[in-house]
Chain A
């Protein structure tokens, strides 16, 4: 596929990085020559220097025969303008824009074909914020992902000593929880994936991914991790875009303190937050942390733009007695270095936010994509089209499928009322009209089911996608 990416910032580069490996022709446009040079050194793609909202630059970037435009520059205006130009002058079929300002969401008609012509808009900061907010709700979890409008959740939990399932084979989960239908999709032991089978034993320290209806998630987690005290006090270090949005979202439910170094930004935060207490200072200043009772904090979130600062302040907070610490870390190397060791949860913002973008790029019919373990693994929601003749999955039992080793089917989302003939199965599911079928070896896949698949290694994703394509050699 020919793809034009506008903006080579954090989001732009990680999108490029993810797509380049999937056999796409990629051109990246940015005004910063150095940034582009660095990207070109690392990845096999073309770069164009210039203003992304100018028609000549877009033509130079090959917009004329591009199939997809991803406008992820820092500026909403540039992104909107580029989408409109791409639609009017170059007929680019699919246009995705990053929109930060929240008020665009209030007027969806602005984004339709007659106006800015944006097919999908994403707001990475909002996605990361929602993600962290979910983690706060489930403090025991390392990761919480939702499918089908929040009906099904996939959680990662670190198995802790003394919890009911530790030291037991997976097959016992049914005996422990006779009324709850849940499935363990993957286990990582010392960072190595283990394919879960009925006889696999769970050990202390395992990272276990389980899938269940969202209402049952807490019960399932309790089997693997002793229940923590609910979170009450939260300290956020860094009041940037993510810190601010998060504080806004949670300030009424928890007691929130926000530390921000920049004085003007601190004043801005203080005037826009109603409940949270804003502190001006350095999050790595132990005097400040001590005065603000870091030892009473249930959660310490380091959300600045600076990886080193986030790591240091988290380490400091943990040593001074914060119960859980979470750091935003952009660099892979750092993230792998600190996770599970001293910092409870490391989050890579780019990996989280590009999942929804990837869903639009992938071939086959992908409804949702979530990156797991900082991009190493993936959870996909794929739509099974066709019938027993044209499809390799429809009408078959799960154990009959030719799934690559390392891919596990977790659950099926099935419409309560079957689609009328000719209806499009890819339209997003609404939570009212679906039921969740947790996958077992004898479950049969029906046409238009949405299948949630856990893939332990991203390299396997194309194979899985090919399995779901309709007809042989159709693409």
Chain B
């Protein structure tokens, strides 16, 4: 207990913070009189009550957080907060089981965007809003938000940051104080969201839809307030806005932060991943457009380009909004897009997958082996931009890539053992692990995850958390030696 106490103490604070965020949909529900107030009442009281109780029980602990505390806290936050977030859905929607409500909340917080709900158009506005709010809070990271707001996370905060932030190199300090960094990142994130919401509104959405879709876009989530997703609006302007902001959200927020700090776009020039990211997405969009036009899916090349660009960006950045049923396109295309989704976005963005940074490092590592076999005396470090990467990072990346592959294979096997066809199983695992959202087959863009059995749904929830926390954090906590030590 002595060891867990400081973790639980901080956790109770995050829980209290989280409970307060429920006041937003509650207020909205009152304002719009959509009849969902009591759902938030219960959830709010539950979260507030349990948070306060935990806080009282652990308030005498004064020890600082340490490295392994960070892993435990992050795991705890990401396992328990979705349960709290699921309460309003479970209470208000009688047809939704606890399994499905938890899945929906996990999908929200991890910014995956896979849904088990249908008939979204008929849901009360505040319920839809709550789903999108989960996206937005989880997109950049709940812990990052907590570090920005809660002053007591000063020293241990860095450990928490590392355990939650995606990407291989987590030590780059943007500001001397970690809380300033967290505030800066959230400020940039919030500003971009605001810009996106204005753009959506002026392109024709209602204010409420604009807010929700802006939340979803910047977090690279994928929830929508309508069943047909972005296809409902059928507007080129809205699709272009979505592409633009999804591209921004797929970049490293540290780069956005630097650009804002220095009031210049130079920061983008020094971002080593960025050119690869844009190149891969741009080239893929053109290639796919050409391919589907050639195969006669769309007779007009520009229409093909419009749909190809939107879906390539949407799936590859792990946004997961759709306008067309791209699962009907020739097989090569959806698989290629899913594959892109597993590595295209930059580290430090709100997207998922192994991140462009790691993909570049892996590629350069392979190239280094080539050089070394031709020039046995060569001293050939792996570099990113002008920086030489330490061996430690290289090994961490290799280990991560291995874990990622093992996760995909083993989870696919497990799902297919539960009598799911292989395409559905594989694509569901990839879509969940990368936090993309829609898969293929039974969980394709035209349908949703509601068709899965309870067991399968739990597996998918776990996969999403695994992907969001970049595998290590969860596995470290699940490791036996972690508890023995």
Contact = CB atoms under 8 A, between A and B. Distances in A.
Interface in A215-270: 259-260, 263, 266-267, 269-270
A432 to B, nearest CB: 31
A113 interface: no
Interface string A273-317: 010011111000000100110000000000000000000000000
B386 interface: yes
A277 B380 CA distance: 7
A416 B354 CA distance: 64
A291 B381 contact: no
A450 B104 CA distance: 84
Interface residues on A, range: 10 to 19
Nearest to B374: A291
A279 B371 CA distance: 11
A266 B378 CA distance: 9
Contacts of A271: 381, 383, 388
Nearest to A258: B379
A267 B381 contact: yes
A279 B379 contact: yes
Interface in A417-450: none
A291 B375 contact: yes
Contact of B378 (A263, A274, A279): A279
A259 B371 CA distance: 15
A271 B382 CA distance: 8
Contacts of B379: 260, 263, 266-267, 269-270, 278-280
Given A270-B388, A271-B388, A292 B375 contact: yes
Interface in B334-392: 371, 375-381, 383, 386, 388
A162 to B, nearest CB: 38
Nearest to B380: A270
Nearest to A239: B379
Nearest to B386: A274
A63 to B, nearest CB: 43
Contacts of A292: 375, 377
A307 to B, nearest CB: 24
Contact of B381 (A260, A270, A279): A270
A280 B383 CA distance: 18
Nearest to B376: A291
Nearest to A282: B377
Contacts of B380: 270, 277-278
A294 to B, nearest CB: 13
A259 B378 CA distance: 9
Nearest to B371: A277
Nearest to B385: A274
B377 A281 contact: yes
Contacts of B376: 291
A263 B378 CA distance: 11
A327 to B, nearest CB: 21
A424 B380 CA distance: 53
A278 B376 CA distance: 11
Contacts of A260: 379
B186 to A, nearest CB: 34
B376 to A, nearest CB: 7
B383 A277 contact: no
Contacts of B378: 277-280
A396 B381 CA distance: 64
Contact of B377 (A267, A269, A291): A291
**Residue of A259, A263, A267, A279 most packed against chain B (CB within 10 A):** A279
Nearest to B388: A271
A164 to B, nearest CB: 42
A274 B364 CA distance: 14
Contacts of A263: 379
Given A271-B381, A271-B383, A279 B388 contact: no
A109 to B, nearest CB: 23
A260 B376 CA distance: 14
Contacts of A270: 379-381, 388
Interface in B62-98: none
A279 B375 contact: yes
Interface string B182-217: 000000000000000000000000000000000000
Nearest to A287: B377
A101 to B, nearest CB: 18
B381 A277 contact: no
A267 B378 CA distance: 10
A279 B377 contact: yes
A274 B384 CA distance: 10
Interface in A35-72: none
Interface in B113-147: none
A263 B383 CA distance: 18
Contacts of B381: 267, 270-271
Contacts of B377: 259, 279-281, 288, 291-292
A271 B385 CA distance: 11
Contacts of B388: 270-271
A274 B379 CA distance: 12
A270 B386 CA distance: 11
Contacts of B386: 274
A267 B382 CA distance: 11
Interface string A164-192: 00000000000000000000000000000
A368 B375 CA distance: 45
A313 B136 CA distance: 64
A280 to B, nearest CB: 5
A270 B376 CA distance: 15
A260 B378 CA distance: 10
A278 B378 CA distance: 6
Contacts of A277: 371, 375, 378, 380
**Residue of B375, B376, B379, B383 most packed against chain A (CB within 10 A):** B379
B387 to A, nearest CB: 8
Contacts of B383: 271, 274
**Residue of B371, B377, B383 most packed against chain A (CB within 10 A):** B377
A297 to B, nearest CB: 14
Contacts of A274: 383, 386
B378 to A, nearest CB: 6
A300 B410 CA distance: 55
Contacts of A269: 379
A-B pairs with lowest CB-CB distance, top 6: A271-B388, A279-B377, A270-B379, A266-B379, A281-B377, A278-B379
7 contacts: A266-B379, A269-B379, A270-B388, A271-B388, A277-B375, A278-B380, A280-B378
Given A277-B380, A279-B378, 18 more contacts: A259-B377, A260-B379, A263-B379, A267-B379, A269-B379, A270-B381, A271-B383, A274-B383, A277-B371, A277-B375, A277-B378, A278-B378, A278-B379, A278-B380, A280-B377, A280-B378, A291-B376, A292-B375
